[in-house]
Amino acid sequence: MGFYNDQQSKEPTSKGLKIWAASVVLSALVGSASTAVIMKSNLIVPQQVAPVAGSDTTPSSVPVTNVSVKVNDGVVGAVKAVKPAIVGVVNYAAAPSDYMNQSQGLQAQGEGSGIIFDKQGYIVTNNHVVEGAAKVEVLLPDGKKTKADVIGTDPYSDLAVLKIPVSYVTGVASLGNSDELQAGEPAIAIGNPLGEAFNQTVTEGIISATKRMMPVTDQASGQTLNQQAVIQTDAAINPGNSGGALCNIQGQIIGINSSKIASNGVEGMGFAIPINEARQIISSLLRTGHVNYPALGIGVSDLQQQDPGQYVLNVPVDYGVVVTGVQSAEAKQSGLKTGDVIVALNGTKITDSVALHSELFKHKIGDTVTITIYRGNDEQQTLSVKLTALSSYANTGNNSADSNQNGNVNGLWP
């Protein structure tokens, strides 16, 4: 996920993020209970008014009551609970060689944020924060720095898990329940906008919506990998907040900051990955270092982007995905063939490969799904396919005739 800019220009990597390198801070609108307010007992003298019927006197003043609210209430207490678990994350890459072709070592190519969620030193952040890193360093709340190991990454959810030595753990965040969120509810965001100089920055606003569908994009290729349901907020957002915490008024993590819309004239449209969605991904990354997603075991390309010279596709629709290769035994047994156009999965319309991903990811490996296809001039057909693991068909380097000619080798997509 990332910044959605109407100029579609890329951010310099030296500033931490490219166009799709997201930064999100979700914040919260806090009521009077979170702010210290002390009002003197002054008298407000109104303009002279006519006597009230039946009264012998005319009011000449209105007393103001003293109000004092403890600063430890509300947002302040939540921030104190969460701050010790919020860290900065620095991505180092190999520096360009000099004129004598000698290596210049490593240099920081981006900065983000992270959340310590386990006392053993495990940290969750965004995948795009650490993507392509030769070294990852963590900046702790007390100003210390330490090298972090990348335990696992998942580009489809834009999440990654890091680990630092136990001796550097400064606090552990408490995870909340994002399924109970409501629009208008307070939330608090903490992260490192613009890097180390502004580490531990706190922002506040409201939750604008609980489920917005936004694309997850690969930073290196610019390819949209998935559609993800995220929390929308009106928070102030800046590069470097990616991977930081969105918490509720109880100081519990309810989201992981991930992206914003950064078009001219647009304010307060940021997004975070719900913590309930992130839990499953984090668990898988801890176990295996990656996430096994369900797949059809085929290669596809969008019908609307299909090269007319590649296949003769005389189908009565202008949407869907074209099967460009059939790899898995399950897909072959289903009767799927190269050139088929998939237009629905379990009755849900499939407009493109992103929509196909989103529907597939709602299922488990081993599930059987029904897909609706067109095959040339033939009438609409339905086929049943048993889902296999995406990782079994991704990046295998197979260049056989069944591979996708548009770079989608061995079902890297579905």
* pLDDT tens digits along 2-14: 554 433 333 443 3
Beta pairing class for 252-261 and 3-4: parallel
CATH assignment of 1-35+69-96+105-288, given 2.40.10.120, 3.40.50.1980, 3.90.850.10, 1.10.357.20? 2.40.10.120
DSSP state of 180: G
Where is pLDDT greater, at 111 or 410? Answer: 111
Q: Mean pLDDT across the chain, nearest whole number? A: 78
Any alpha helices (H) in 289-382, and if so which ranges? 329-334, 353-360
User: Which residues, in sequence order, are bridge partners of residue 271?
Assistant: 232, 259
Given a cut of 90, whether residue 268 has pLDDT beyond it is: no
3-class secondary-structure state, position 283: helix
pLDDT single digits (tens) 97-108: 666 666 678 888
**Dihedral sign, CA of 24, 212, 126, 76?**
positive
Query: Is residue 363 annotated as part of the catalytic site, yes or no?
Result: no
Query: Is residue 154 annotated as part of the catalytic site, yes or no?
Result: no
Domain boundaries 294-411, corresponding CATH code: 2.30.42.10
How many whole angstroms separate alpha carbon 289 and alpha carbon 153?
A: 7
Q: 0.85 exceeded by the pTM?
A: no
How many whole angstroms separate alpha carbon 387 and alpha carbon 410?
A: 14
pLDDT of residue 288: 92
pLDDT single digits (tens) 185-241: 988 889 998 888 888 999 988 899 988 887 887 777 777 777 788 999 887 777 888
How many whole angstroms separate alpha carbon 29 and alpha carbon 188?
A: 8
How many whole angstroms separate alpha carbon 221 and alpha carbon 373?
A: 29
How many whole angstroms separate alpha carbon 280 and alpha carbon 302?
A: 29
Among the listed residues 27, 34, 128, 208, the single catalytic one is 128
CB 156 within 8 A of CB 216: yes
Among the listed residues 23, 157, 158, 234, the single catalytic one is 158
Query: Is residue 242 annotated as part of the catalytic site, yes or no?
Result: yes
CB 255 within 8 A of CB 274: yes
Question: Where along the chain do its domains lie?
Answer: 1-35+69-96+105-288, 294-411
Q: Which amino acid does the sequence have at 257?
A: N
How many whole angstroms separate alpha carbon 335 and alpha carbon 385?
A: 9
Residue 355 Ramachandran class (φ > 0 left, ψ -120 to 50 alpha, else beta) = alpha
Among the listed residues 27, 178, 208, 242, the single catalytic one is 242
Given a cut of 50, whether residue 49 has pLDDT beyond it is: no
pLDDT single digits (tens) 57-83: 555 566 766 666 565 578 899 999 999
Please count the helices (runs of H) and the strands (runs of E) in the chain: 5, 24
